[in-house]
């Protein structure tokens, strides 16, 4: 099945989990990843990879000794990624983003350099999104970045309240057009 059709099917079956009708564009991928210093990044987390638009790009730019931990809750997307991406640097996790800390520790790490998130925060219950943002903040190193796209400004306040600095960008070249938040942790 073509990726766009497969994505749409998951959207209809799991609207609140998937939160989008098609995979992100290469323009959005560029805006999401352009603030990552791939030369220095040793541990990166991706939340909600879907069909892997950002995952493949991150692996393309990542150093050979870096690790990417990817959290995907949806069964179909998880199975698809497991079959399609074979890379020793990838740790694919079939569980919710809430449990970052547990899997990070199991992989032998305490902190991460970057978190790239496509989670549909706007449709998440308040407790779930607050937990995920809090654990993300705790997990980041000093000067680490949490990079999140959304189709609205709905989560701006939540991100600004938790992070020490938040920069906002926008791309019309995506369906739907998207806002990209780059959130910085300035304290260790
Ligand atoms: C808007 S889609 C983005 C997919 C892809 N990154 C893209 O940009 O095309 C959101 C993704 O988050 C996943 N997801 C939703 N809730 C999650 C959770 N609690 N933990 C991990 N992944 C989750 C969905 O299954 C879906 O793959």
- Please state the domain extents for the chain: 29-184
**CB-count exposure of residue 151 (10 Å: 0-12, 13-18, 19+):** middle
| 52 CB near ligand 1 (under 6 Å) | no
The pLDDT tens digits for 51-68 are: 999 999 999 999 999 999
pTM for this predicted structure: 0.95
The pLDDT tens digits for 69-92 are: 999 999 999 999 999 999 999 999
Are the C-beta atoms of residues 71 and 54 closer than 8 Å to each other?
Answer: no
Q: Is the pLDDT of residue 2 over 70?
A: no
CATH topology of domain 29-184: Rossmann fold (3.40.50)
| 25 CB near ligand 1 (under 6 Å) | no
**CB-count exposure of residue 52 (10 Å: 0-12, 13-18, 19+):** buried
H helices of 85-125, in order, are 100-106
**Tokens (6 digits) for 148:** 């999140």
Ligand 1 centroid to Cα of residue 55, in Å, is 12
**CB-count exposure of residue 65 (10 Å: 0-12, 13-18, 19+):** exposed
Portion of the chain with pLDDT greater than 90, in percent: 87
Ligand 1 centroid to Cα of residue 42, in Å, is 23
Q: Distance (Å, rounded) from C-alpha 129 to C-alpha 184? A: 18
Greatest CA span in the chain, whole angstroms? Answer: 46
The pLDDT tens digits for 117-131 are: 999 999 999 999 999
| 144 CB near ligand 1 (under 6 Å) | no
147-to-1, 56, 136, 137, 166 alpha-carbon distances in Å: 30, 16, 11, 11, 9
Rounded to an integer, the average pLDDT of 91-101 is 98
Q: Distance (Å, rounded) from C-alpha 168 to C-alpha 65? A: 31
**Given ligand 1 and candidates 14, 17, 131, which is best to mutate, with the most ligand atoms within 8 Å of its CB?**
17
Q: Starting at the edge strand that comes first in sequence, how are the strands of the sheet with 112-117 ordered?
A: 90-93, 67-71, 43-47, 112-117, 140-150, 178-184, 165-171
| 49 CB near ligand 1 (under 6 Å) | yes
For residue 17, the ligand 1 atom closest to its alpha carbon is 15
């Amino acid at each position: 099945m073509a990726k766009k059709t497969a994505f749409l099917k998951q959207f209809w079956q799991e609207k609140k989990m998937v939160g989008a009708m098609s995979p992100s564009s290469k323009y959005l991928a560029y805006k999401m990843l352009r603030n990552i210093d791939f030369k220095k990044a040793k541990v990166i987390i991706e939340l909600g990879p879907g069909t892997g638009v950002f995952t493949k790009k991150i692996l393309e730019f990542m150093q050979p000794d870096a690790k990417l931990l990817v959290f995907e809750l949806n069964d179909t997307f998880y199975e698809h990624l497991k079959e399609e991406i074979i890379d020793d640097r990838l740790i694919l996790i079939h569980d919710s983003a809430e449990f970052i800390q547990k899997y990070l520790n199991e992989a032998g790490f305490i902190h991460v350099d970057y978190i790239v998130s496509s989670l549909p925060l706007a449709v998440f219950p308040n407790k779930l999104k607050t937990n995920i943002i809090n654990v993300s903040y705790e997990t980041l190193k000093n000067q680490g970045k949490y990079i999140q796209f959304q189709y609205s400004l709905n989560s701006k306040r939540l991100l600004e309240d938790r992070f020490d600095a938040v920069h906002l960008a926008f791309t019309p070249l995506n369906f739907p057009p998207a806002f990209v938040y780059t959130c910085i942790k300035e304290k260790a």
